[in-house]
Amino acid sequence: MNIFRLYKSRKYLLRMLLSITVLMVVFLSGSTLLLYYNSDKSMLQMQQQADLKVLSQIKYNIDYMHDTVKNITVSTYFDPDVVYLSNIDVMDKGELAQKLNRLEKTVFNSSFLQNITIYNAKTGCYYSTLSSLNCQDDGMNGLIDQYIHSQTNIPILTFVPLFNEKMSLPALSMFIYDSKSGSKLIVTIKPTWLFDNLTNMNKITDELRGSIFITDKSGIPIQDQHTANVTSMDSIESIIRDKVKSGVTQDYLVYGSGESKSILSFMASNKNDWVIASVQPYEVVSSKLSNMRVISLVIIIGFLILSIAGSLFIAYRLYRPIEHLLNQVTSNRRKGADDHSDVDELKFISTAFQDAMHQLVKHESEEHMNRDALKTFALRRLISDASLPTPEEMEQVNWEIDFNEELRVCVLLIDDFVEFESNASEGEKSLYKFAIANITKELVSKSVKCEVVPMLNDHFVLLVGGANESQGDQLHSLTHTLKELQQTLLQYYRLSITISIGERVERYQEVSQQYSFTIENASYRIIFGKGSIITPDLVGHNNENVTFQFPTDAEKKLTEAIKSGQEKDFQDHLFQLFQQMKVMHFNNIMYAILHLLALIENNVREMNSRTVRQVSLDFKQQVQYIMKQETLEPMFDLFLAIFQDIQKQRSQDAKEQSNQILTDTVKEMIELQYRDLNLSLQSIAAAMKLSSAHVSNKFRLHESMSISEYINDFRLRKALELLETKDYSITRIMEMVGYNNESYFFKLFKKKFGITPKEYRFKTVVQE
């Protein structure tokens, strides 16, 4: 009972036990089925080999006897005594006795021979070693005489079975003769020599209730057969006859069904035209196979019981380490924790381990986050205002750099930050910023000590500690490292960053001021482009160029190009202005951009005040687009696109206005003259002094229908209105809206409204 409870409460142990047991059961069941289905085939193959061996031996004996008797027959046929007895006209009895005595010696010397008989065709006499001196006695009780006179063609040198109803065994005789003389030599063998051999064989197989016998090629047995529990001889004869006719010399087959199912083996002898056959009941042969199957099944069941008992022992031995581990985990679980009765032991242990690891990682992560948060907070205070952190606070943080040495401030600016903010999810933003900070620290810390802090907007601050190298060497080495950083982020994260490198400071109290200078230098990304590295020397001339006044000549030329619509002149002057911006201070660059926008807006306003063709341009939106750009190149393209948009509207307004006037005029004429039966495209075009094709094309362009379609549509709507409001007849309404063909009117009305005018009026009346 305790063992049962143990296995029931241990799901993994039970699963392991079932797995081993099922595996053994499947293996043993598969082996049993394979043995069962292959045993029939193996049994038949063994039985076939045994039967064919027996039949081969009998065939060999018969063939040997045939060849021996054949040789004796041929040699005897040419014996002078036989030749004399075959051709003598008058026989002397004394001489006959002497010659027969000599033939008797030949019979006596052979173990096969029973009798030699000579038939003299001239006298019609028989001379036999077993007959009296009476020439009518053939020595075989008349069998030979009866056979000779009943057959037209007698086989030569082959055994011929001779028998009558009184004989239990047939006599086997071999004939040789000359067809011209008609005299014959007949050599008869002892039938017991052959059939006793078969009888002995049948006695051996009697326990199988089978039989071995000899038939001719037609399947008829040479001797009488009594086969118990075997299909009738008629079936056997039919099978042997059909097989021999098809050229089969030996075969092994199972035929019949149910209790009459039998196994037939046969082998043909070409020398005698005989067939040696063996037939046995299938159920007798298969009974031994059934016994073997029962014994095998008993052995397999016994082995299965032992294997199940063994699997219980093996499963428990394999389970013991898991049980020890389960006991340890269970004893260390918190009180009130979930019970493991509903899950297997490994899953329970795995869950407990995951809980423990989760708690451990959580504690470590919290500790790490607290340290990182403290360091980030201290760095941000140091960068924003170096006077905020006290020396004591600075010492509380585990810094990677020595703040008593020289420091260098670098700013890492994310390019296309607006797009980055809009396309990336919050999780992706955190991942990217984490990657930037960690990769930066990993690469830079290979050569110098550093700290990286993400700021609250679009950039990171990199503090680089002092080194033994000179300032120029350190800047060159740092620039090379930061280029590698840019390539890494671009390759793996598709992020482009612009880097601004600041000057060295001797004390950490100067970091915040240097940060302001460095972030201001980063603004020159507008000149040097995304992914650039900006050093103080690179922007020194721009920072010094603080005086600025928008070029008067550039303003004049740009104004003329806008008003005249000369795109090439506008592009050339705009390009010259942007080239001048590249040496300006950043503030002056932004002033020049805004001034250029104001210049374009003023020119558009002035042009709109002088013409009815108004240019529509949302300058507030254009300012937003341009100010979002981070470099001068896209700003240049946007200004060029604004100019092209202005000129496109100016060039299209005149055409559009003219086409609109034409369309409105045509529609007004149709609305006034729709009652006129002659109203058409041609009449309208003639009234407007324009070609019909021109009027039709312009009208279709604006209204997406032809003038005739519009006329019909307007007339039908008026007809519908009259049907609803007036009691006029349909014919009068048709004429009032400009139609004189009733069928045409009905066709158009139904095509547009789905019903005829009469149906519509009837429907309206019913509804009222």
Under a CB-based contact definition with an 8 Å cutoff, are residues 146 and 34 in contact? no
pLDDT higher than 50, residue 228: no
Return contacts of 99-108, CB within 8 angstroms, 24+ apart. 99/127, 100/127, 100/128, 100/129, 103/76, 103/79, 103/129, 104/129, 106/72, 106/76
92 by DSSP, 3-state: which?
coil
pLDDT, average across residues 217-221? 70
Q: How far is CA 735 from CA 719, 738, 742, 752, in A?
A: 10, 5, 9, 18
pLDDT higher than 70, residue 694: yes
pLDDT higher than 60, residue 340: no
For residue 207, what is the DSSP state? G
Distance CA 459, CA 453 (A): 9
In this prediction, what percent of the chain has a pLDDT beyond 90? Answer: 14
Burial of residue 571 (CB within 10 Å: 0-12, 13-18, 19+) is middle
pLDDT higher than 60, residue 17: yes
Amino acid at position 630, single letter: E
pLDDT, average across residues 460-478? 78
pLDDT higher than 80, residue 270: no
Q: How many other CB atoms are there within 10 angstroms of residue 609's CB atom?
A: 8
DSSP string, 242-258: HHHHTT-SEEEEEE--G
pLDDT, average across residues 360-386? 72
Distance CA 76, CA 84 (A): 12
Under a CB-based contact definition with an 8 Å cutoff, are residues 126 and 136 in contact? yes
Model pLDDT, residue 95: 77
Model pLDDT, residue 613: 65
Tokens of 5: 């409870």
Tokens of 105: 């010696």
In this structure, of 66-70, 72-76, 370-374, 590-594, the range with the lowest mean pLDDT score is 370-374
Q: Which of 194, 142, 202 is nearest to 166 (CA)?
A: 142
Model pLDDT, residue 634: 92
Q: What are phi and psi of 171, to 5 degrees?
A: -90, 135
pLDDT higher than 80, residue 418: yes
pLDDT, average across residues 12-29? 74
pTM score, whole prediction: 0.45
pLDDT, average across residues 388-402? 75
**Bridge partners (DSSP) listed for residue 504:** 408
Q: What is the residue whose two structure tokens read 């369309």?
A: 663
Under a CB-based contact definition with an 8 Å cutoff, are residues 214 and 251 in contact? no
Model pLDDT, residue 693: 87
Most confident of 217-231, 232-246, 527-541: 527-541
pLDDT higher than 50, residue 640: yes
Q: Which residues contact 176 (CB under 8 A, 6 or more apart)?
A: 73, 74, 77, 156, 157, 184, 185, 187
What does pLDDT average to over the chain? Answer: 80
Sketch the domain layout of the chain as residue ranges.
49-284, 399-544, 552-656, 674-767
pLDDT digits (tens, 9 = 90+) for 664-678: 888 888 988 888 888
pLDDT higher than 80, residue 658: no
Domain at 399-544: CATH code: 3.30.70.270
Q: Which residue has the higher pLDDT, 99 or 511?
A: 511
Distance CA 583, CA 546 (A): 10
Q: How confident is the model at residue 10 (pLDDT cuts 50, 70, 90)?
A: low
In this structure, of 81-95, 282-296, 480-494, 692-706, the range with the lowest mean pLDDT score is 282-296
Model pLDDT, residue 336: 45
Q: Which residue has the higher pLDDT, 465 or 25?
A: 465
Tokens of 627: 């100010």
CATH 1.10.10.60 fits 674-767, yes or no: yes
How would you classify residue 553: left for phi > 0, otherwise alpha for psi between -120 and 50, otherwise beta? alpha
Q: How far is CA 698 from CA 656, 666, 667, 706, 756, in A?
A: 10, 10, 12, 10, 33
pLDDT digits (tens, 9 = 90+) for 143-190: 888 888 888 888 888 888 887 777 777 888 888 888 777 888 888 887
Neighbour order of strands in the sheet with 274-281: 211-216, 274-281, 262-269, 250-255
pLDDT, average across residues 515-538? 92
432 by DSSP, 3-state: which?
helix
678 by DSSP, 3-state: which?
coil
pLDDT higher than 60, residue 469: no
DSSP string, 367-392: HHHHHHHHHHHHHHHHHH-TTSS-HH
Under a CB-based contact definition with an 8 Å cutoff, are residues 96 and 85 in contact? yes
Q: Which residues contact 716 (CB under 8 A, 6 or more apart)?
A: 737, 748, 749, 752, 753
Distance CA 363, CA 765 (A): 85
159 by DSSP, 3-state: which?
strand
Q: How many other CB atoms are there within 10 angstroms of residue 462's CB atom?
A: 25
pLDDT higher than 80, residue 309: no
pLDDT, average across residues 497-505? 92
pLDDT digits (tens, 9 = 90+) for 35-59: 767 776 777 777 777 778 877 878 8
In this structure, of 38-42, 102-106, 535-539, 621-625, the range with the lowest mean pLDDT score is 38-42
Q: How confident is the model at residue 230 (pLDDT cuts 50, 70, 90)?
A: very low
User: HSE (CB half, 13 Å, CA atoms) of 230?
Assistant: 23
Inter-helix orientation angle 632-673/619-628, to 10°: 150
Under a CB-based contact definition with an 8 Å cutoff, are residues 452 and 464 in contact? no
Please count the helices (runs of H) and the strands (runs of E) in the chain.
27, 14
Q: How confident is the model at residue 522 (pLDDT cuts 50, 70, 90)?
A: very high
pLDDT higher than 60, residue 398: yes
Q: Which of 290, 228, 287 is nearest to 260 (CA)?
A: 228
Q: Which of 476, 501, 532 is nearest to 407 (CA)?
A: 501
pLDDT higher than 70, residue 539: yes
In this prediction, what percent of the chain has a pLDDT beyond 70? Answer: 84
Domains 399-544 and 674-767 share a fold: no
Q: Which residue has the higher pLDDT, 424 or 587?
A: 587
SS (H, E, C) 166-182: CCCCCEEEEEEECCCCC
